[in-house]
């Protein structure tokens, strides 16, 4: 039965498009976090000093004013607005850079994908049975295992980094505040950089796993692929019927043109090709109808009923049928052979006319 078929076929473009429309894409949230942490640290390293200077100047300006005349609600509001605007101005380059990095990270994973359907609440997720099933699923176990591995590796890196820097940490006790802040910042920066690099490597592995899992989840059965092909391209039986109707209509139009032909070249019964030539409108004789077997007999029958001459030329009939399409002029290589046939027909008409 179709319901027990294995999903062995890769997802079709239509299935992938539908999944993206629902917001279902292959994405690693850990990769976004790692990219933001890594490049955020770089941004803070280069722009953090400027941000701290803004904050320092703000504190100096406002804390230096130990006395305010008529300190009321409006004074507090203006004070808070001024402090906030100065701090935002200092932090904006850092925060803006981090936001840009986050956007670039998401774009590199999934591109531009606006999905209104993803905003519609899915009440199936509130089903306790579904929640329990998701918790004990294979996907959840893999995710839990990877999380434990990440925590273990990052914890180990942090432990060995702190253990290595125990002596510099003990020296902080004898330093001034500026020295403590500078040394502690360097130690924290170095340790965080190591953890971030490890997290970036693990997140890249997670991203590749998410891509593989995404492709696996969207696999289709052979029956589903066939049904989708029918829906997109049409049922083969219906298409066959449409082609038959189109062929019949085309043949009917062609038969209506046979009485206008100058000559029908035959082989003698298997092939029939109707030619017409108008020196004022055409550069060369044109094929206005052709057929084999039953259709050839029908063409010959119509030609005789309308006094259109038929000339037997086995080789020419075969060549015209196989090389020239309907409503197409004959190629130059056949000019001489067709000219002999037309010349014979015109002479015959003159004789009959006299």
What are the average pLDDT values for consecutive 10-residue runs of the chain, which has 354 residues? Answer: 68 82 80 84 78 73 60 72 77 82 83 66 61 64 78 79 68 65 72 83 86 87 79 65 75 82 82 85 85 86 86 86 86 86 79 60
Cα(305)–Cα(128) distance, integer angstroms = 82
Q: What is the pLDDT of residue 175?
A: 66
Q: What is the pLDDT of residue 233?
A: 60
Burial of 270 (0-12, 13-18, 19+ CB in 10 A): middle
Three-state secondary structure readout of 52-63: HHHHHHHHHHHH
Q: Tell me, which fold does domain 254-353 have in CATH?
A: name from scop (3.40.1690)
Q: Which two tokens stand for residue 148?
A: 């434990």
Query: Are 209 and 145 within 8 A, CB to CB?
Result: no
263, containing H or E segment: strand 263-266
Q: What is the pLDDT of residue 326?
A: 85
Which sequence spans correspond to the domains of the chain?
9-229, 254-353
Strand partners, 271: 292
Phi then psi for residue 128, to 5 deg, are: -60, -40
Residue keyed to tokens 């079709």? 12
- Long-range contacts of 160-168, Cβ-Cβ distance < 8 Å, separation of 24 or more: 161/190, 161/191, 161/194, 162/191, 165/191
Q: What is the pLDDT of residue 266?
A: 87
Cα(110)–Cα(105) distance, integer angstroms = 9
CB count, 10 Å around CB of 39?
Answer: 18
CB count, 10 Å around CB of 26?
Answer: 19
Alpha helices in 281-313 (DSSP H): 294-305
Cα(174)–Cα(23) distance, integer angstroms = 56
The pTM of the full predicted model, rounded to 2 decimals, is 0.49
Q: What is the pLDDT of residue 134?
A: 60
Cα(277)–Cα(275) distance, integer angstroms = 7
Q: Which two tokens stand for residue 20?
A: 């993206």
Radius of gyration of the chain (CA): 42
Q: What is the pLDDT of residue 144?
A: 79
């Amino acid at each position: 039965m179709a319901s027990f078929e294995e999903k062995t076929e890769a997802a079709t473009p239509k299935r992938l498009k539908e999944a993206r429309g629902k917001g279902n894409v292959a994405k690693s949230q850990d990769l976004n976090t790692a990219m933001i942490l890594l490049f955020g640290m770089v941004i803070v390293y280069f722009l953090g000093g400027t941000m701290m200077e803004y904050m320092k100047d703000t504190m100096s300006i406002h804390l230096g004013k130990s006395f305010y005349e008529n300190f009321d609600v409006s004074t507090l509001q203006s004070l808070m607005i001024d402090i906030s605007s100065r701090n935002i101005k200092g932090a904006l380059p850092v925060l803006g850079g981090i936001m840009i990095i986050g956007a670039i990270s998401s774009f590199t994973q999934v591109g531009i994908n606006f999905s209104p359907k993803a905003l519609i609440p899915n009440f199936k997720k509130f089903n306790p049975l579904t929640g329990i099933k998701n918790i004990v699923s294979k996907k959840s176990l893999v995710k839990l295992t990877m999380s434990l591995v990440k925590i273990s590796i990052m914890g180990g890196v942090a432990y060995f980094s702190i253990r290595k820097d125990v002596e510099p940490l003990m020296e902080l006790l004898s330093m001034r505040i500026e020295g403590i802040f500078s040394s502690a910042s360097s130690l924290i920066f170095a340790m965080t950089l190591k953890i971030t690099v490890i997290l970036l490597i693990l997140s890249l592995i997670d991203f590749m796993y998410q891509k593989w899992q995404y492709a696996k989840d969207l696999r289709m059965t052979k029956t589903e692929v066939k049904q989708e092909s029918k829906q997109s391209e049409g049922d083969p039986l219906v298409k066959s019927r449409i082609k038959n109707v189109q062929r019949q209509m085309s043949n009917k139009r062609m038969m209506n043109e046979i009485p206008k032909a100058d000559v029908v070249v035959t082989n003698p019964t298997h092939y029939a090709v109707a030619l017409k030539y108008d020196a004022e409108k055409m550069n060369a004789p044109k094929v206005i109808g052709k057929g084999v077997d039953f259709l050839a007999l029908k063409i010959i029958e119509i030609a005789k009923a309308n006094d259109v001459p038929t000339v037997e030329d086995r080789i020419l009939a075969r060549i015209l049928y196989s090389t020239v399409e309907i409503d197409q002029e004959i190629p130059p290589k056949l000019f001489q052979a067709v000219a002999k046939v037309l010349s014979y027909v015109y002479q015959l008409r003159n004789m009959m006319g006299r």
